Amino acid sequence: MKKRQRIIAALLSLAMVFGLCGSNLTVQTVKAQEVQEVQEDADDENQEQEEIPKAASVGESMEETEQEGDQTEEAVPEEKDGEASGEEAVQKAGQKEIAPQTEDTGNEDGGSDAGDSDEDDGEDNEEDDWDKYTLYYDSLINGRYYTSSGNFADGETVAMEIEASSETKDAVITYEWYKAGSKDASVDNATKLNVNKNIYTIKKSGVKTEYYICRFSDGNQTKDKVFEIKGILLKVSKYVNDKPEDTSEEYLYGSKVKLEVRPEKVDSKYQISYQWRERKRDEDGDRGEKQDIAGATGSVYNAEIEDTFYSPYYCVVTLKEGNEVIQSEEYSFLLSAKETLTAKGAIYVDGKKYIGTSRSVYEGSEIKLEVTAETNYKDGKIEYNWHLGGNSESSGNSNSYSLKKDESERQYLYCEVTDGVNSEDIDFYIYKESRIKGIRQIDGRNGSSVYYSAPDEKHELKVNISSKPTGNGYEYIWERDKGISDYYDEDQNYEKINDASGAICNVKGNIAGDMTYYCTVKDGTDIKRFIFYVYVDSLNCECTVNQEEGSRIQVVPGEKVTLGVRAESSYRNDAITYKWYQGWYDGDDYGEDGNNRKVLGEESSYTFVKNAEVDDEGDCIEWYSCEVSDGFQTSYLQFEAEANNVSMGGIALIDGKSYPHSVYDAYIPAVHDKSYCLEVKMTSEPESGEYKYQWGTYNEATGMSQKLSTTSECTVKGGVSYENDDADGYVCIVSDGDKRKYFTFCLEPYSITADQKINGASASEVYLPAGETVELSIAASSTYTSSDKIKYSWRAGSDTEITGIANGNKYTVPKSEDMEQEYICVVKDGYSSEVYYFTLYSDVLSVPVYTIDGKAVSDLQCGEGTKHTITVDASCKIEDEDIEYEWARIDENKNFTHIERKNKNTLTFTRRGKTETYRCTISVAGVERRLYFNFFTDGEACQHKFAQKITKATMTKDGSIVNQCTVCGKVNSSERIPYPKTIRLSSETFTYNGKVQRPAVTVIGSDGRTIASSNYTVSYSAGSTAAGTYAATITFKGNYTGSVKKTYTIKNSAPSAGTVLRAPGTKASYKVVKAGKTVDYKSAPNKKVKTASVPSTVKINNVTYKVTGIAPSAFKNCKKLKKVTIGANVTSIGKQAFYGCKSLKTVTVKSKSVKKVGSKAFKGIHKKASIKVPKAKLKAYKKLFKKGGVSKSVKIKK
């Protein structure tokens, strides 16, 4: 299934074509004249772009990119040949246009647009006439969006089209078509055609490129769009080492690779020429512009892999007839480098070897750390450099390092391994193992957590020591701290509990909130800490919206919304109080209002009318919070109401049936070559006119959306447009003339079914002792091909190779000492592919004992409104290891809700709904078990036996946890595992400081929530100290699979003059004037900024600069800017610095050293603006600022 963002991006792009907003999408359409401004105002988050971006695609076209500043490599980019037109493809590499989404923006520099002059209209013209920019448009060829050029065969029909809309009410858009002699021609030297529609259709004639211009106007603004219709004469194939190019192939560093372009034969009257090009890195590691390779003018070029990441090469193939260029295309080769180095670590403790890089050992133990490394680089020489903390330790280039465990709790070392090409850090963690052994008990029961349902309860905490002291006995020190913490901080001031008696601490009364208790046990030579958690747990709260369970809703503006809380208290049910607030609030004193914010209501529900206000991000969302208290516990519940600006209702159908999905309006596994009827059935009446339909397809291979049917139905075939497991994505846009609604469909290739087995029994996970061998197997069948043609490939976890014995659909492997082992089998049949996961857990967690209302059952037939208690008891074979419990509820509609129970092993609840399931996840040391408890209102024929199947989330596809009956097939619950949609580094640029610098990693799932760091590991490139480019590799585990590499840069401490820097916090950009000393304020954070300050100094990457100037156009066209302060060190203000800031009314100048104000620097600011300047500079600055375009109505005062 495709990533959700691809479909959303397609929808956004389609929405731009029509110029209106959909039900759940905020569409930013851009005036044709403001394209460059929008590009400059791109979102900072999208700076993480490849150095050589893909050719423009629908999925990428809505992602705005920063046009200046450093770009970092994330992955080997893919370039597509022939999608941009000739030289334009070379010139525009790396550019993405927001709107219009076209290969070029037409003849914008040719002087065709009405009113585009930037001439000075006189001193009294305070601001531009922004109302003249009213046209929105897109270009199409043969129904394909975002296209204005292409190659076509002689005689082929070519339909050129402009879809335009206007902001001018009741505007009639007119069209004129011209045939031009070149791409740069204007309508003044072109031949006018007798066509006045938005579509012009021709039949391609010959092989020469033809140019057409469409001029369209709404009476207020006029635009020209150029179409480039190229012939198909020169057909070229790409070969690498005499084989057709395979973009997945990797090559050894330093090796020679034969690149070749092979044109098909053409008439002898034509001449073919070649020019090979490359993009090399500069001394800072950044790639420069493409450069011709001297002497490389043949069809073959022997390239060298000289980059550890990828090496890009290009060949421009030109076809001429005499001196006339008939066709010219550029073909790219991106050669990925193989990793040359592999390394792994081991730890020897008192002579015994342990595989892995982390170990707990006794103080005084003899330890040897060992790294085993191999290189496939022919000239590679492996070197080792050991580091203790941040210091380098001399080890004589040895692959091992010996030490004795000291008294510290943890020792960290790493070995930097290099073969001269690649480097890798092997991190070692040596933890201190205490000889003091014991378990924690609460009220005589093993455990570490206690729950108070009333403040006067009493509980006994006890540490039961099983080991013998080395001295005269054990000393027990009891302490506590407010809140919950899973570690002990030596620097924290804990409250000592003086009345605790030895190994026992009685916790009684005066419990005011969650607390952590620590028991430090000493015997004179050793020490160990035991941690207990005390929770306040008297309140049970649930959120409702319009009497339905949940905390989020989408409504039409003007509609009433009732938020509610269902609360029960085990302490005082009659004392529950409620306080409603607007905004996100959890009791902390933050923001402008803090604890003084207004209380909206004090009942269990609050009703309001949804407004239609849109924030700076284009969202129409309101947040509310409810503070609930029973006098003992206080809970804060959060609610969200989002405006749905479309009141249109409809149902997405496939072959007449509804197939709802968490991402798509309709989703179905598609059989190869089978026809499917996609349909949208509207359930509401149009407010004006009648419903119109436009179907389109999103194709990753071309990166474009193609028009299809214009009725309420569209017939497509499964598995035709895409290969392997790539899904067919379709969209239907329904319009009634004023509003639009979008319906998305996904047809995912599906042909394989399989049964997973472990040692012959149906299972995907098993609990085993270390050393036991198991056989994993897949019994697969296919509707596409015969079973003997199904292919199986196995691998261990995220590795690319397996170490066990694989034989087709079977794989034999021994259980290691690891708590969790993961194995993957990919099954392919030539049409689709499926990924199956096996997990081998250590048998440290016993089979839990569970009851419902005291009875050993997992299913219960009972009526709605009845109250029940589920109890789960688990034990662990690892001494004093915490057992964690997580609860969740699945309702009859398969909606999944996490339940906050603070790691409690019991759950008490009231039944509601005909069918519901509660899930308890028990985990310890990375090992998990899940139990499902099913509740039914009336009896069912099947006594269900539910089993769980986990489909792990990949880097592009959500996973799922499905609980299904193995008898009747009933799906009792289905939980979505959001894939890691966004992966960010805390910083992509560091300044050299002589120390190891590594960014932190944040992962956001496709549901917008942060994915916990326990679901992935992060490894970094070796060193990360000297200036250069480094990589952080994020490898996912648990319910996720896959890995991604993100790069970051350490730059020299003093960036050279001309370098553009981004200020932390404000995100304003600065341009270095003098390295390490002065900068100019280059650009505002975005075009929507309302207040701004040009500081006297700015600190970036630990370097403090004086801000001595404001660069030209720094705030140009920031039309919402109202107030600006200019710092004391500014000496110059560039031309057009504040040009077009029509709302700017207050300017405060603190500098007494302004010597220069550029042309039109203040032209177009508010006519009643005031500029406050230092008293001593009033006269001089009046004269100076007048030269900068300040109008007569603007006051300059002291």
Q: The domain spanning residue 177 has which CATH number?
A: 2.60.40.10
Q: Quickly state the pLDDT bin for 596 (edges 50, 70, 90).
A: low
Q: Do residues 333 and 312 touch, judged by C-beta distance below 8 A?
A: yes
> Beta strand pairing status for 1091-1094 and 692-699?
unpaired
Residue 24, pLDDT above cutoff 50: no
Predicted confidence at residue 1098, as pLDDT, reads: 87
Predicted confidence at residue 184, as pLDDT, reads: 87
- Domain interval for residue 522: 438-536
157 or 696, greater pLDDT: 157
Q: Do residues 1010 and 1003 touch, judged by C-beta distance below 8 A?
A: yes
Domain assignment of residue 26, yes or no: no
Residue 428, pLDDT above cutoff 60: yes
Report the half-sphere exposure of 917 (CA within 13 A, side-chain side).
Answer: 24
Residues whose CB is less than 8 angstroms from the CB of residue 278 and which lie 6 or more positions away in sequence, other chains included: 290, 291, 293, 303, 311, 312, 313, 314
CA 153 remoteness from chain centre: 41
CA angle 242, 245, 247 (to 5 degrees): 145
1133 or 924, greater pLDDT: 1133
Enter the tokens of residue 701.
């291979």
77 prior amide bond cis, ω within 30: no
Enter the tokens of residue 204.
């391609």
C-alpha dihedral, 44 to 48 to 49 to 50, nearest 10°: 160
Predicted confidence at residue 897, as pLDDT, reads: 79
Give me the DSSP letters along 397-433: S-SEEEEE--SSSEEEEEEEEE-SS-EEEEEEEEEEE
Give the integer Cα–Cα distance in Å for 281 and 874.
58
The last residue of one of the domains, among 308, 337, 366, is: 337
User: Is the domain of 513 the same as that of 397?
Assistant: no
Q: Do residues 428 and 414 touch, judged by C-beta distance below 8 A?
A: yes
> Beta strand pairing status for 410-418 and 352-355?
unpaired
Give the integer Cα–Cα distance in Å for 70 and 1049.
9
User: Is the domain of 401 the same as that of 457?
Assistant: no
State the average pLDDT over residues 542-550. 87
Predicted confidence at residue 570, as pLDDT, reads: 86
Give me the DSSP letters along 1025-1087: -SSEEEEEEEEE-TTB--EEEEEEEEE-SSPPTT-EEE-TTT--EEEEEETTTEEEEEE-S-T
Domain assignment of residue 59, yes or no: no
User: Is the domain of 267 the same as that of 305?
Assistant: yes
Q: Quickly state the pLDDT bin for 21 (edges 50, 70, 90).
A: very low
Residue 468, pLDDT above cutoff 60: yes
Domain assignment of residue 867, yes or no: yes
User: Is the domain of 1095 the same as that of 1186?
Assistant: yes
State the average pLDDT over residues 407-424. 86
Q: Which of 23-37, 282-296, 841-855, 1000-1014 has the lowest mean pLDDT?
A: 23-37
Predicted confidence at residue 561, as pLDDT, reads: 93
661 or 622, greater pLDDT: 622
Predicted confidence at residue 830, as pLDDT, reads: 81
User: Is the domain of 811 the same as that of 725?
Assistant: no
Predicted confidence at residue 1009, as pLDDT, reads: 76
State the average pLDDT over residues 1087-1099. 87
The last residue of one of the domains, among 731, 749, 767, is: 749
What does DSSP assign to residue 259?
E
Q: The domain spanning residue 1046 has which CATH number?
A: 2.60.40
Give me the DSSP letters along 690-732: --EEEEEEEETTTTEEEE---SSEEEEETTSSS-TTPPEEEEE
Predicted confidence at residue 715, as pLDDT, reads: 93
Residue 290, pLDDT above cutoff 80: yes
Report the half-sphere exposure of 320 (CA within 13 A, side-chain side).
Answer: 11
Predicted confidence at residue 198, as pLDDT, reads: 95
Altogether, the residues listed in the chain come to a count of 1198
State the average pLDDT over residues 447-458. 85
Residue 275, pLDDT above cutoff 90: yes
* Per-residue pLDDT reduced to its tens digit, 216-272: 999 999 999 999 998 887 889 999 999 998 877 889 888 999 999 999 888 888 899
State the average pLDDT over residues 799-818. 71
Q: Quickly state the pLDDT bin for 283 (edges 50, 70, 90).
A: confident
Largest alpha-carbon pair distance within the chain? Answer: 108
Give me the DSSP letters along 155-219: T-EEEEEEEEEESSTT---EEEEEEESSTT--GGGSEE-S--SSEEEEE--SSS-EEEEEEEE-S
Predicted confidence at residue 1190, as pLDDT, reads: 87
Enter the tokens of residue 722.
């895409």
Predicted confidence at residue 1187, as pLDDT, reads: 81
State the average pLDDT over residues 140-162. 90
Domain assignment of residue 295, yes or no: yes
CA 1025 remoteness from chain centre: 27
Predicted confidence at residue 1104, as pLDDT, reads: 81
Q: Quickly state the pLDDT bin for 34 (edges 50, 70, 90).
A: very low
Residue 100, pLDDT above cutoff 60: no
State the average pLDDT over residues 284-306. 90
Residues whose CB is less than 8 angstroms from the CB of residue 596 and which lie 6 or more positions away in sequence, other chains included: none
Predicted confidence at residue 545, as pLDDT, reads: 92
User: Is the domain of 1091 the same as that of 1178?
Assistant: yes
Q: Which of 247-256, 431-440, 932-941, 1029-1038 has the lowest mean pLDDT?
A: 932-941
Domain assignment of residue 542, yes or no: no
Residue 121, pLDDT above cutoff 70: no
- Whole-Å CA distances, 749 to 673, 825, 954, 1140: 10, 18, 17, 53
* Per-residue pLDDT reduced to its tens digit, 1177-1186: 888 888 888 8
- Whole-Å CA distances, 718 to 695, 699, 748, 832: 16, 13, 8, 11
Q: Which of 608-622, 780-794, 1115-1129 has the lowest mean pLDDT?
A: 608-622
Residue with tokens 């082929």: 156
* Greatest mean pLDDT among 216-225, 226-235, 504-513, 670-679: 216-225
Q: Quickly state the pLDDT bin for 1005 (edges 50, 70, 90).
A: confident
With CA atoms as reference, report the closest residue to 343 among 370, 377, 371, 376: 371
Give the integer Cα–Cα distance in Å for 105 and 223.
10
Domain assignment of residue 35, yes or no: no
Domain assignment of residue 63, yes or no: no
Q: Quickly state the pLDDT bin for 38 (edges 50, 70, 90).
A: very low
The last residue of one of the domains, among 643, 678, 709, is: 643
User: Is the domain of 88 the same as that of 224?
Assistant: yes
* Greatest mean pLDDT among 576-580, 705-709, 997-1001: 576-580
Judged on CB neighbours under 10 Å (0-12, 13-18, 19+), 1147 is buried
Predicted confidence at residue 53, as pLDDT, reads: 28
Q: Which of 52-61, 466-475, 531-540, 792-801 has the lowest mean pLDDT?
A: 52-61
Residue 340, pLDDT above cutoff 80: yes
Q: Quickly state the pLDDT bin for 607 (edges 50, 70, 90).
A: very high
User: Is the domain of 1192 the same as that of 1154?
Assistant: yes
CA 449 remoteness from chain centre: 36
State the average pLDDT over residues 569-593. 77
Q: Quickly state the pLDDT bin for 966 (edges 50, 70, 90).
A: low
1085 or 1053, greater pLDDT: 1085
Q: Do residues 242 and 261 touch, judged by C-beta distance below 8 A?
A: no
Enter the tokens of residue 1099.
């600190």
Residue 761, pLDDT above cutoff 60: yes
User: Is the domain of 1021 the same as that of 1091?
Assistant: no
Number of domains in the chain: 10
User: Is the domain of 357 the same as that of 315?
Assistant: no
User: Is the domain of 728 the same as that of 768?
Assistant: no
Percent of residues, the chain, with pLDDT higher than 70: 82
Q: Do residues 613 and 593 touch, judged by C-beta distance below 8 A?
A: no
Predicted confidence at residue 501, as pLDDT, reads: 85
Buried b / exposed e along 2-31 (16+ C-beta atoms within 10 A): bbbbbbbbbbbbbbbbbbbbbbebebebbb
User: Is the domain of 169 the same as that of 185?
Assistant: yes
Residues whose CB is less than 8 angstroms from the CB of residue 316 and which lie 6 or more positions away in sequence, other chains included: 90, 274, 275, 277, 328, 329, 330, 331
Q: The domain spanning residue 1076 has which CATH number?
A: 3.80.10.10
Domain assignment of residue 548, yes or no: no
Residue 1167, pLDDT above cutoff 60: yes
Residue 124, pLDDT above cutoff 80: no
State the average pLDDT over residues 1054-1072. 79
